[in-house]
Structure 1
Amino acid sequence: MRETITPRRALQMVVIAAIALTFLLPLYWLTISALRPEEDIFRYLNPFGPWTLLPNRLTFENITELWSGSFSRAIANSLVVALVTVIAGLMVCAPAAFALAVIDFPGRSAIFTAMIVSFLIPFDAIAVPLYSIMRGFNLQNSYAGLILPGIGNGLAIFLLRQFFQGIPKDLREAAMVDGMGWFQIFWNIYLPLSKPALISAALIMFIFQWQAYLWPLLIAPSNDMKVAAVALAQFSSAYNVSFGLIFAGAMFLSLIPMLIFVFFQQYFTNSVAATGSKE
């Protein structure tokens, strides 16, 4: 039986569609600006007309020029940093979250509170002291210097801990009766049941590194180690602004995480919903 669409329901759908289009408009503008000749990007803004949103000329010159330079190396650096951070970060954050959620040990509440405070502090506030530490270990202009600060992600630990707390204790107790240790319980029971939370934590760490600007600018200013966000900013200087390259670079910087999120959005939504239901 087909669902009857009432006038109220139709109005709700129209409002939701309008809101969705409002959020998509900047992405559309970004894309068409990347494909326009540079002299046409701002030509039709005033007065507002049909050519403002409907380009009369499209070109791949901006994209070709972008990838013919050092931006491709910067994209590769960002991907390496983000992917290694995700892998190493899950290896650190998942056991830490398991210990905070399941194992009862002295000082657990204090450690959890400190961890909560850690991700409430803006990273910019600790960037300079952290740079001094990294310089002491001679980690400037290295992948290690770019990756290490992103491994222990407090928000990822919090998300995983809350999810682990929702797994029934009966499973853990039955495993202990069978002679399993803590690592076996973590590996064989908690991890297989926590796929949505693990993917969500991975997305958080990936985005944290992908959009990072201040820390890569401090720790890795050399041309060989520049990440995409830093390379994009350098298309603008005091004497010249290459808007075509900026829009083309921003399009690629937006496209990669957007595709990843669209592919994994169901897991992210399920994980956040489950996390919000924990005490």
Structure 2
Amino acid sequence: MTAVRRRTRSERRSILLTALAVVVAALFILPALWLLSGSLRPSNEIFGTLSPVTWRTLVPSEVSLGNYLALLSGPFGRSILISFAVCFLTVAIGLVVSALAAYALSVLRFRGRGAVFAFVVISFMVPFEAIAIPLSQLFSGWGLTNTLLGLVLPGIGNGLAIFNLRQHFLSIPTSYREAATVDGAAEPRVLWSVYLPLGGAALANSALLIFLGQWSAYLWPLLVVSDSSLQVAPVALARTFGEYTFDFGQNFAGAIVLSVVPALMMFVLQRFFGGLEIASGEK
């Protein structure tokens, strides 16, 4: 009888926790659904359906992609391409720099290695906003403002990506490197042929970290780029809000686009995490 009561209590507790989780999830999901609904309806209907709040608030009377087409056919469409170019270059160069730094800090023995690693850790603990203005002054003196290189360079040295790769490289047995060096492989060959193939998941994770940092960057592009032809997507979206003119339908559509791209990146790379680990022979 006692066991039955305990089971009943456990079931009731489970039902209550499930109901609470559903309510909390709804509180987070409903604003996102309203944002998506607003991007698919004319701007004059977005706020007109808020009072009173009914099912029409989340379900548009007419679904239209006009906001997306109008937004992407304008300057925002070019800004999306600029953001993709900046992210691609930053990820490509940043992964090379991060892998080299992580290999040196995890495998090679040299004086001051601990101090260098401590500096790397501190670098991603300090908010970028704290150094953005003096860094932009340096870039201005170097003539890197209003250039693609000026947008790319600050994202290359990602301390968190270096830390992530270093921790993964430390888990690789040193006997692999010793066997490669016995066969006559130099350090670049060891990194390319041994550590990088075994670091698939860590490389994907680091690439995602670098991509997200650049895709969502707002302050730095605002400081170093004044040319409208080099505006990245977050800055271009913010500038669609004029003092007297604005289109909430297009603003909502731009917010959805900026949110969906990293979400798709995370979904695609997450699917490959397991496959990369299996291919690398890790358990």
Q: Do they superpose with TM above 0.5?
A: yes
Whether the 8 Å contact between 1:34 and 1:244 is mirrored in structure 2 is yes
Moved more, 39-48 or 67-76: 39-48
- Which residue is equivalent to 1:37? 42
Deviation at 1:120, TM superposition (A): 0.8
Residue type of the alignment partner of 1:170: S
| Alignment counterpart, residue 222 of structure 1, candidates 216, 219, 227 | 227
- Which residue is equivalent to 1:102? 107
Pair 1:183 & 2:188 matched: yes
- Which residue is equivalent to 1:87? 92
- CA offsets 1:107-139 (integer angstroms, 9 cap, x no match): 000011011111111111111111111111111
- Which residue is equivalent to 1:237? 242
Aligned residues: 266
- Which residue is equivalent to 2:63? 58
Moved more, 165-174 or 211-220: 165-174
Q: 1:42 to 1:268 in 2, by over 3 A?
A: farther
| Alignment counterpart, residue 76 of structure 2, candidates 51, 71, 80 | 71
- Which residue is equivalent to 2:155? 150
| Alignment counterpart, residue 118 of structure 1, candidates 115, 118, 123 | 123
- CA offsets 1:129-175 (integer angstroms, 9 cap, x no match): 11111111111111000000000000100110011111112212222
- Which residue is equivalent to 1:248? 253
Distance 1:222 1:9 in 2: 59
Residue type of the alignment partner of 1:75: I
Pair 1:163 & 2:168 matched: yes
- Which residue is equivalent to 1:28? 33
- CA offsets 1:164-214 (integer angstroms, 9 cap, x no match): 111112212222222222111111100000010001110011111100001
For the residue of structure 2 that corresponds to 1:36, the secondary structure is coil
- Which residue is equivalent to 1:127? 132
Identical pairs, percent: 45
Whether the 8 Å contact between 2:34 and 2:57 is mirrored in structure 1 is no
| Alignment counterpart, residue 197 of structure 2, candidates 162, 181, 192 | 192
Moved more, 209-218 or 44-53: 44-53
Whether the 8 Å contact between 1:199 and 1:264 is mirrored in structure 2 is yes
Moved more, 62-71 or 105-114: 62-71
Residue type of the alignment partner of 1:116: V
Distance 1:270 1:9 in 2: 38
- CA offsets 1:19-68 (integer angstroms, 9 cap, x no match): 55554434322221100110111122232211111222222221122122
- Which residue is equivalent to 1:276? none
Residue type of the alignment partner of 2:90: T
For the residue of structure 1 that corresponds to 2:53, the secondary structure is coil
Q: 1:185 to 1:26 in 2, by over 3 A?
A: farther
Q: 1:13 to 1:187 in 2, by over 3 A?
A: farther
| Alignment counterpart, residue 136 of structure 1, candidates 141, 155, 159 | 141
Moved more, 201-210 or 180-189: 180-189
Moved more, 244-253 or 45-54: 45-54
RMSD: 2.2
Deviation at 1:270, TM superposition (A): 10
Distance 1:25 1:84 in 2: 36
Whether the 8 Å contact between 1:200 and 1:267 is mirrored in structure 2 is no
Moved more, 100-109 or 16-25: 16-25
TM (normalized to structure 1)? 0.88
- CA offsets 1:234-255 (integer angstroms, 9 cap, x no match): 1112223321111011111111
Whether the 8 Å contact between 1:197 and 1:267 is mirrored in structure 2 is no
Q: 1:264 to 1:237 in 2, by over 3 A?
A: same
Distance 2:139 2:71 in 1: 32
Unaligned runs of 5+ in 1: 1-5, 272-279
For the residue of structure 2 that corresponds to 1:80, the secondary structure is helix
